[in-house]
Amino acid sequence: MIQYLNMIYTADNRFFLRPFFFLIIWFVWFVPGNMHICHAQSLFDSDDEDILFEEEAATTLSDDEQAQNPTFPDAFLNDSTFTLGYQFSHGTDEESKIIDNSFYLRLEYETLFAQNLFFKFDGKGELHPKTDHRTNAKNKNLILNGSVREAFFQAGYENFSLKIGNQVNVWGKADTAAITDVVSPRDTSQFIFTRLEDARFGQLIISGNFYTNDTNAFIFISPLPEIDKEPDTNSRYDRPLEGVDLFLIKPDKPEFGDLEYGLKVDKTLSKTDFSIMAGHFYSNAALYNDKGYDENSKPVMEKTYPDYAMAGAALEHAWHSCLFKLELAFKNKFPLQGININNRYVFEKKNILDSAFGIEYNANYKYQMSFEISNRYILSNTSGLLPGTDKNSSAFYTTFTKDFLNQTLEFEYIFYYHIQEQNQFHHFRLTYDLTDNMEIQAGYACFSAEDENNLMWLYRKEDRINFEIKYFF
């Protein structure tokens, strides 16, 4: 299938997808009437779980029962979850000041439009008053932002489901690094201070799931790959490479027709889950490439997102109170930032091997711990890469979580350490359920970097305290 899709793409037939979209929409709406259909169920915050489909017999409502059906506004509110929140963070270094100062409203909406047609929407509106680092970067008193994390339709049949729209797909199991979790881009505008489950956001995807008793095959195609969301220019976490500001930057983002596609097969055997996956992807993170000079003799730099291929496997095995995780990925011609003999930035494509091993321990819900180590090994030589790029790069990640006060207070500690670069990150977080509808979080995060030649050195003074309050309704 991957070779077939690649053949279509290399033929430069980019208009192929337009009739394909209409064909899929026709299939979703009209074909179900002639097929055995199923009822879709879904839960919020289920990024790493497929939507479940269960058989349900069709029923005919009486006139009285139909009269009792809620109107659209009532039905919309019944199927919606709103989260009203406020975020605040303040630096703790010698030049400390307010970093985050923002309000947000998040809407999560899920509904069945028909017996087998499901719709999900997850979006957020944000308000950043003055003193927020994003507002200060634009010299404004107030900024309003809006974003859609997911918005898709899903149709489910007996052993098959089809999903179309903006969706998040979680492939990987590792927390330390993106080993095989390369489908969904991430929001890096807040550096490392955003939880992974909140950092992922969706892109336009057509995907299908094929089910058997113990096997699930997932195939997807994305006609317009998204890229990581970077920090706003001049904001707190905007750290461009040295000297880039001297160039005329020409962005080269993936366009409509630059296909990402992949296949993932999951199989369950007793207490073991095994996955294999392969696909063609574009780098979510930007790389810079020297393009010489323009007609005005100004140096030009291309900000680009090159493609690569990946094949990987993941394994999870439950044993007593432990869950063992193993993940491995080979990335062919993976783009890395380099520099040429003239000290101009270029990207280099290298073959790399990413791997991770982890253990999660649950002490009968008294507390939970996890340990994970990841490694990146550059199979090719490292010539042409940025100085300080290690051929063998490893990181360690651990978490500890414990509940108090009848599970209304949660303590969480996160520790990350890069072994070669000696960068480390600590995050302490307390979460208190003030009521059934209100949650308060407070935390302290510190980051340290030891190597002046490493890019993370630019972030060495980013310790901060955090506060967040959420109200659900």
Task: State what percent of residues in the chain have pLDDT above 90.
Answer: 66
User: Nearest 5 degrees, angle CA 332-CA 387-CA 233?
Assistant: 85
DSSP structure string for 304-373: E--EEEEEEEEEEEEETTEEEEEEEEEEEEEEEEEE-TTS-EEEEEEEEEEEEEEEEEESTTSEEEEEEE
Q: What is the CATH number of domain 2-472?
A: 2.40.160.10
Q: Is residue 16 pLDDT above 50, yes or no?
A: no
pLDDT at 57 over 50: no
State the distance between the two ends of the chain, measured CA to CA, in whole angstroms.
Answer: 45
Contact status, residue 445 vs residue 426, Cβ threshold 8 Å? yes
Q: What φ, ψ does residue 7 adopt, rounded to 5°?
A: -65, -40
Report residue 104's pLDDT band, with 50, 70 and 90 as the boundaries.
very high
Q: Distance between CA 386 and CA 301 in Å, rounded?
A: 16
Question: What whole-number distance in Å separates Cα of residue 379 and Cα of residue 391?
Answer: 8
What are the two backbone dihedrals, phi and then psi, of residue 25, each rounded to the nearest 5 degrees?
-60, -40
**129 residue type, one letter:** P
Report which of residues 342 and 68 the model is more confident about.
Answer: 342
Residue 171 has pLDDT above 50, yes or no: yes
Domain boundaries, the chain: 2-472
Within a 10 A sphere around the Cβ of 308, how many other Cβ atoms? 19
Q: Output phi, psi for 23, to 5 deg.
A: -65, -45
> What is the token pair recorded at 277?
């996956």
> What confidence tens digit (pLDDT) does each residue in 231-257 have?
999 999 998 888 888 889 999 999 999
Answer whether 423's CB lies under 8 Å from 449's CB: yes
Q: Which of 165, 154, 80 is nearest to 117 (CA)?
A: 154
**What is d(CA 309, CA 5) in angstroms, rounded to the nearest whole number?**
13
Q: 141, 135 in Cβ contact below 8 A?
A: yes
Contact (Cβ atoms closer than 8 angstroms) between residue 159 and residue 211: yes
Residue 261 pLDDT exceeds 90 = yes
Per-residue pLDDT, 1: 41
pLDDT attached to residue 26: 40
Q: Token digits for 369?
A: 């711990």
Q: Residue 308: which residues within 8 A CB-CB, separation 6 or more?
A: 280, 281, 282, 283, 331, 332, 333, 334, 335, 349
Predicted pLDDT of residue 68: 60
- Return the structure tokens found at 236: 């707190």
Q: Give CA–CA dist 207/262, Å, rounded.
A: 10
Tokens of 84: 């009203």
Query: How much is the pTM?
Result: 0.82
Torsion of CA 99, 100, 101, 107, to 10 degrees: 170
3-class secondary-structure state, position 393: strand
Higher pLDDT, 261 or 296: 261
| Res. 161: pLDDT tops 80 | yes
Instruction: Residue 7: count other Cβ atoms within 10 Å of its Cβ.
Output: 10
CA dist., res. 276 & res. 315, Å (int): 9
* Both tokens assigned to 382: 């490292």
Per residue in 394-453, pLDDT (tens digit) is: 999 999 999 999 999 999 999 999 999 889 999 999 999 999 999 999 999 998 888 777
156 and 38 Cβ atoms separated by less than 8 Å: yes
Mean pLDDT within 128-134: 94
Position 417, amino acid: Y
Q: Which of 21-30, 272-281, 336-345 has the lowest mean pLDDT?
A: 21-30
Find the helix or strand (DSSP H, E) in which 20 lies.
helix 17-30
C-alpha to C-alpha distance for 155 and 164, rounded to whole angstroms: 9
